[in-house]
Amino acid sequence: MDKLKEIMNHKWKELEGMLRPIPSAELKSLVDLERPNLFDALYGHEQVSVISEIKRKSPSAGDIAKNASALSQAKLYETAEADGISILTDQKYFSGSLEDLEKVTGHITQNGSNIPCIRKDFFIHPIQVVEAANAGASAILIIARALSNREISDLFSAANQVGLDSIFEIHNEGDLERSVSAGAKIIGVNNRNLATFTTDLALSERLIPQIPKECVSIAESGIFNLQDIARVKAAGAQAVLIGQALMEHSDPGSFIREIHSL
């Protein structure tokens, strides 16, 4: 079994006691017009936008910063004017939690920073969209290759009704076609093969030019230095999502500012 299938199977078991139909009225009651908008934060800028991720560990890297405070890391990103903050909320594989997300969004709201926060998790059911909205997120993640067309539609519809953006994560042309057909406006190319967890920036170089120009294109995973940024920018990436490199950096704020200056 590949790693992504293992993770998705665990997610179904983790959530099985919580699953229930989510009425439209419940979703619409969670709309918050003051919620920062991820699409607006990323689209149409000359500089590469930076989504800075809070990641304590991963299946590929093991422990990265296992004792890191989500709030302290978010404050570093905020000071450096990151364009978005991604917070991993999966506990088993990434040592994250919804509490991490709540602490970060609570601080962002209190501080008036207007930085959109993404709930980064393995989404399988609209109940997770409800959780994301209640925790103050601005966006969710839809991993195309891990979901059926019906599951994608249900998640995207729930997010739209709540007023959250959706990042459609792709790894090949088939994922891209399904995402565009579903109505995706933000598309991230994951350079990491989630079956084997190897990375290859050539994937962004191949797929990003195929993403419709009206969409935000994000390069994700395997980005560690300015040379990597230059490669994906040349391919047309409007934004990059960076986790491990920032978590391990002695001065993550300076790295974010360097990216913005490219």
First to last CA, the chain: 41
Instruction: Confirm whether 69 is a catalytic residue.
Output: no
Within a domain: residue 34? no
Within a domain: residue 18? no
Number of domains in the chain: 1
Mean pLDDT of the region 4-28: 95
pLDDT of residue 194: 73
Report which of 147, 197, 159 is spatially closest to residue 12, judged by C-alpha positions: 147
By residue range, what is the domain housing residue 147?
Answer: 3-13+43-261
Report which of 241, 242, 243, 239 is spatially closest to residue 211, judged by C-alpha positions: 239
Report the mean per-residue pLDDT for the chain: 96
Catalytic hit among 78, 102, 131, 220: 220
pLDDT tens digits, residue range 164-217? 999 999 999 999 999 999 999 999 999 988 777 789 999 999 999 999 999 999
- Measured CA to CA, the distance from residue 131 to residue 134 in angstroms comes to 5
Within a domain: residue 238? yes
Within a domain: residue 26? no
Within a domain: residue 231? yes
Catalytic hit among 169, 179, 204, 217: 169
List the beta bridge partners of residue 88. 120
Q: What is the CB-side half-sphere exposure of residue 188 using CA atoms within 13 A? A: 31
Confidence of residue 248 (pLDDT cuts 50, 70, 90): very high
Instruction: Confirm whether 78 is a catalytic residue.
Output: no
Q: Is the dihedral of CA 226, 120, 244, 171 positive or negative?
A: negative
Q: Which of 3-7, 114-118, 225-229, 251-255 is the least confident region?
A: 3-7
Instruction: Confirm whether 131 is a catalytic residue.
Output: no
Catalytic hit among 190, 191, 204, 217: 190
- Measured CA to CA, the distance from residue 189 to residue 228 in angstroms comes to 14
Within a domain: residue 31? no
Catalytic hit among 11, 49, 52, 53: 53
Return the H-helix or E-strand segment holding 105. helix 98-111
CATH value at residue 166: 3.20.20.70
pLDDT tens digits, residue range 135-156? 999 999 999 999 999 999 999 9
State the virtual CA torsion across 154, 159, 247, 195 in degrees, nearest 10.
10
Q: Which is more confidently placed, 58 or 143?
A: 143
Within a domain: residue 60? yes
Reply yes or no on whether the pLDDT at 108 is more than 60: yes
- Measured CA to CA, the distance from residue 59 to residue 221 in angstroms comes to 13
Within a domain: residue 38? no
C-beta pairs of 99-103 under 8 Å, 24+ apart in sequence: 100/54, 100/70, 100/71, 101/70, 101/132, 101/135, 101/136, 101/137, 102/135, 102/136, 103/70, 103/71, 103/74
pLDDT of residue 111: 94
Q: Are 19 and 211 in contact (CB under 8 A)?
A: no
Catalytic hit among 52, 103, 221, 233: 221
Report which of 252, 243, 254 is spatially closest to residue 61, judged by C-alpha positions: 243
Catalytic hit among 120, 166, 179, 204: 120
The angle, 0 to 180 degrees and rounded to 10, between the axes of the packed helices 252-261 and 226-234 is 40
Instruction: Confirm whether 55 is a catalytic residue.
Output: yes
Instruction: Confirm whether 37 is a catalytic residue.
Output: no
Mean pLDDT of the region 161-165: 98
Instruction: Confirm whether 233 is a catalytic residue.
Output: no
Instruction: Confirm whether 220 is a catalytic residue.
Output: yes
Q: What percent of the chain has pLDDT over 90?
A: 90
Catalytic hit among 55, 57, 103, 233: 55
pLDDT of residue 158: 98
